[in-house]
Structure 1
């Protein structure tokens, strides 16, 4: 997993991963009804990346501490679905649901690998592909997902992925999260000026069906302009620079743990 997860370029796929996650109504309801997402988009990013980097690079004791912290927050994220398929309305959702956690982990693997290959080129070694895939399982199984739920190999995963994408629904909850994420209406102006580029990249990373449901448009010209610039600069940076987010989030996590401060707060999303 280190090959992919250490690269800060995976953050560029973060918005696509979140939109895919909230296209599952249970995740969308949890995020929209139990977090102040619009005001604290950065905190949700910190929550997710601290967890991902910790399970990838942390010590055993740090992994246990972070998994316990995530679980404590997730215990408060539950309710009744009021959107989505009619047959599912009225059903309860919970952030502790292994199926929802499996889907969240799946989006992190798929989008991270996708943007990595768009920048560095396709991974031709199938053995390496499988190794990366199996190492990503730790993101799911460190919480409530039993190991046997993670698809047994990449082929099984892609079958799961295609079936899941085909049944995703973009509810009003999901659209509200997308608006806050892609337009940053309450963020400072110097962050909002970056949102056109964010929307351009995110649109290309999403499956066409999901892109259309979120009202995003594919713009291949500007996408290729962005990718040419990214490839021209990012690939030539030393790994020490490309992996700065890993070191920053691990440092922040360890500082909070050493001071006995909560790593995650209620109300920032799962």
Structure 2
């Protein structure tokens, strides 16, 4: 039996199915009150919820696949956007908030990847965990702040999830994510299914915190969908599975070339 090739951050981040984890990552991010209130106070989220997903994916693709110049440019633009996100209670430059954002990107990606492709062995999972630190250290997270290993990360993750108390302000942000006031029709038409999938991927405690409906029937359907995805998706040619990455990178380079920014 041939040994499974090691999976790298380039393998996982490029999978189109990772877009399905995007809503989960965003809700996890805003569950942190500092992040959630920053978004609520400084972002027209109701009108640009889809843009937030695009910005998140563009950042990931730029850091993982971009040239040094592209990575530097995108990080500079993200920092510029974050400069205005501050109050007496939070700052987008807070390394702890940046750590949480990076943690959600790593944990959401690996959680969905393993649901679809199967569990990674410990050696591969450890190496992949170290690679994912770049999503935080490219911004404001000092290298020493990223939890030392997966065991330390798991303890950090549990502490964060168990401590979150989602208030009405943050809950309103979550509603805007799934009911944007401005989005193309084909996106709005698929939002109920995306909302349902995102709800299924969330930790149970946060489903309750966000007041997202879920019952045993939903759970059975969700498990069936995940089983079907694990059988169908890996059999799709890699070039097709990674097509969204190619589109996002093309769009990023087009906007940088024609506008000099990532603005819509």
Runs of 4+ in 1 over 6 A off after TM superposition: none
Residue of structure 1 in register with 2:158 after alignment: 162
Is residue 135 of structure 2 the alignment partner of residue 122 of structure 1? no
Matched, 1:23 2:31: yes
Instruction: State the Cα distance separating 1:141 from its structure 2 match.
Output: 0.3
Change (3 A) 1:264 1:94: farther
Label 1:190 to 1:58 Cα distance change in 2 as closer, same or farther (>3 A): closer
Partner of 1:49: 57
The runs of 5 or more residues in structure 1 that have no matched partner are 81-91, 266-270
Number of aligned positions between the proteins: 253
Q: Does 1:212 align with 2:213?
A: no
**Post-superposition offset of 1:207:** 1.4
* Pairwise CA RMSD: 1.7
Aligned mates of 1:63, 1:55 — CA distance in 2: 5
Matches within 5 A, 1:130-145: 130-145=126-141
Q: Which range is displaced more, 182-191 or 132-141?
A: 182-191
CA deviations 1:42-76 (Å, max 9, x no partner) are 21112111111111011111111111111011001
For residue 84 of structure 1, what is the aligned residue in structure 2?
Answer: none
User: What residue number does 1:66 align with?
Assistant: 74
Q: CA deviation at 1:188?
A: 5.2
Cα gap change, 1:249 to 1:188, in 2 (>3 Å): closer
**Cα deviation code 1:223-250 (max 9, x no counterpart):** 1232244334322111111111211111
Distance 1:54 1:191 in 2: 24
Structure 2, unmatched stretches of 5+, are 1-8
Aligned CA distance change for structure 1 residues 58 and 105 (closer, same or farther; 3 Å): same
Equivalent-residue separation in structure 2 for 1:237 and 1:184 (angstroms) = 31
Contact 1:70/1:264 (CA < 8 Å) preserved in 2?
A: no
TM-score between the two structures when normalised by the length of structure 2 = 0.90
Partner secondary structure for residue 62 of structure 1: helix
Whether the 8 Å contact between 2:48 and 2:182 is mirrored in structure 1 is no
Per-residue Cα deviation, 1:56-102 (whole angstroms, up to 9, x for no partner): 0111111111111110110011124xxxxxxxxxxx21111111010
2: CA distance, partners of 1:140 / 1:117: 22
Confirm or deny: 8 A CA contact 2:31 2:166 kept in the other structure: yes
Moved more, 165-174 or 126-135: 165-174
- The whole-number CA distance in structure 2 between the counterparts of 1:253 and 1:201 is 27
When normalised by structure 1's length, the TM-score is: 0.88
